Amino acid sequence: MATQVPSGFNLDAFASGSFEGEGDTRRLQIETKEYNAVVAGPFGEEGKTRLQATEKGGLMLVVVWNLDDEEQRQKLQLEKMPTRRQTIFLDLTPNGALDMGPYKNADLNRLRDVFGLNVPGKQWRFQDFVGQPARIKIDNRPNKEDPENPYQNVTAVTSMNAPQPA
């Protein structure tokens, strides 16, 4: 989890400085389970929920989730819980509109369902996601290049009103 650059920070002095000591090579791993979370905003800012072009000319929605788990925060001795990202690739029509045809944007539409925005005739904007609460499931995915540091992915999103597992 990166920290903010302090005001008055001198990038040139930092870049030409020297450092010593051993650094940790592990990434922070949170427990793989369901968390209460809220979509981070403001929409469009770096490090927050935003649309992003892909290297292959596509478009994806990057949803950044602020996690809420006081027990995990204390156990890991964190000031605040880390964020986790969910990437949703978007289907577009040939003229660049969001494709709302059959079998298109299913992952996006499932997320809209969770927020009550997947309703016939209801207009919505990507900005409407910001601040929306949900339960998200975090799972690990193996990292071939660095097995000690698996990727942590959002694998499911459900409504806060959905029944909780026992």
75-93: pLDDT as tens digits: 999 999 999 999 999 999 9
Q: Is residue 13 part of a domain?
A: no
DSSP, collapsed to helix, strand or coil, labels residue 114 as helix
Q: Is residue 76 part of a domain?
A: yes
Structural domain that includes position 131: 29-158
Q: Give the model confidence (pLDDT) of 34-59 as tens digits.
A: 999 999 999 988 889 999 999 998 99
pLDDT confidence of residue 28: 85
> What CATH number is attached to the domain comprising 129?
2.40.50
Cβ neighbours of residue 111 under 8 Å, at least 6 residues apart?
63, 88, 129, 157
Q: Is residue 56 part of a domain?
A: yes
Q: Give the model confidence (pLDDT) of 125-159 as tens digits.
A: 999 999 999 999 999 999 999 988 899 999 999 99
Q: Is residue 24 part of a domain?
A: no
Q: Is residue 33 part of a domain?
A: yes
Q: Is residue 100 part of a domain?
A: yes
Q: Is residue 166 part of a domain?
A: no
The total domain count for the chain is 1
Q: Is residue 4 part of a domain?
A: no
Per the structure block, which two tokens stand in for 62? 């990057």
| pLDDT at position 1 over 60 | no
Backbone angles phi and psi of 26, in degrees to 5: -85, 145
